[in-house]
Amino acid sequence: GEDVEQSLFLSVREGDSSVINCTYTDSSSTYLYWYKQEPGAGLQLLTYIFSNMDMKQDQRLTVLLNKKDKHLSLRIADTQTGDSAIYFCAESAFSGGYNKLIFGAGTRLAVHP
Amino acid sequence: NAGVTQTPKFRVLKTGQSMTLLCAQDMNHEYMYWYRQDPGMGLRLIHYSVGEGTTAKGEVPDGYNVSRLKNQNFLLGLESAAPSQTSVYFCASSFWTSGGTGYNEQFFGPGTRLTVL
């Protein structure tokens, strides 16, 4: 079945790089997503990658996709205190004739001075 | 555009009470979803809808009912609340995409924090 796994916590020092990892199971997923949830708020799409890409860069964000290992990572360069949030990995799924997203449990990123 | 809105923001219920959570979107999205978020478990899909008058069960539908009204409104009902339904509830919406290969960005509301005593 469909499953997405990610570690629950990551702590980094301000200015360092953060790397959040995710593994997924559905090899037919065509899009993989990273969502960000700030305290007390809903989720917002941060970035996404199409399954035929290995890497996508967007300013301080770099997404790496290893389809063979079904592994996705999100790198945040020069991490700032404003990056403190929960980051969710999600894979697209098509089930029962409808599109859905399968979310991981979320990685809580804590940035300290 | 207001995007996705949810009411209420907070609610405390006693076991056995009923309530309805309201979600509204003004983006003309076909798909709407209800999720619950529990610590360490991420988001789990309760029910979803692909258009007015249509609903389908998600991963954890028991104890909940839904209705889709006029395409922009998606209601989540708890007929007899239980402490296990204490959670944060999120509504989301997205455009319809064909088949299983479409891009599916979901837009989320701010959430409703529900406590059942």
Kindly state the helix (H) or strand (E) to which residue A23 belongs, with its residue range: strand A18-24
Residue A2 has pLDDT above 80, yes or no: no
CA-nearest residue to A103 within chain B is: B43
pLDDT of residue B101: 58
What does the pLDDT look like over A61-82, one tens digit per residue? Answer: 999 999 999 999 999 999 999 9
pLDDT of residue A83: 96
pLDDT of residue A97: 67
| Contact call for A30 and B100, based on CB within 8 A | yes
Instruction: Report the percent of chain A where pLDDT is more than 90.
Output: 70
Distances (CA, A) of A75 to A16, A46, A47, A57, A95: 11, 12, 11, 9, 30
pLDDT of residue B75: 97
Mean pLDDT (whole number) for A48-56: 90
| Contact call for A42 and B43, based on CB within 8 A | no
- CB contacts of B108 in chain A (<8 Å) are 42-44
pLDDT of residue B44: 92
Residues 6+ apart with CB under 8 A from B4: A42, B23, B24, B25, B27, B91, B92, B93, B107, B108, B109
Phi and psi based region of residue B70 (left: phi greater than 0; alpha: psi -120 to 50; beta: remaining): left
Among A88, A94, A105, the residue with its CB nearest the CB of B40 is A105
| Contact call for B42 and A30, based on CB within 8 A | no
| Contact call for B43 and A98, based on CB within 8 A | no
Q: A53 pLDDT band (50/70/90 cuts)?
A: confident
pLDDT of residue B93: 95
Instruction: Report the percent of chain A where pLDDT is more than 70.
Output: 96
- CB contacts of A101 in chain B (<8 Å) are 104, 106
Q: What gap in Å lies between CA B105 and CA A101, rounded to an integer? A: 9
CA-nearest residue to B38 within chain A is: A105
| Contact call for B42 and A105, based on CB within 8 A | yes
Q: Which of the residues in chain B have pLDDT under 50?
A: none
pLDDT of residue A94: 75
What does the pLDDT look like over A86-108, one tens digit per residue? Answer: 999 998 877 766 778 889 999 99
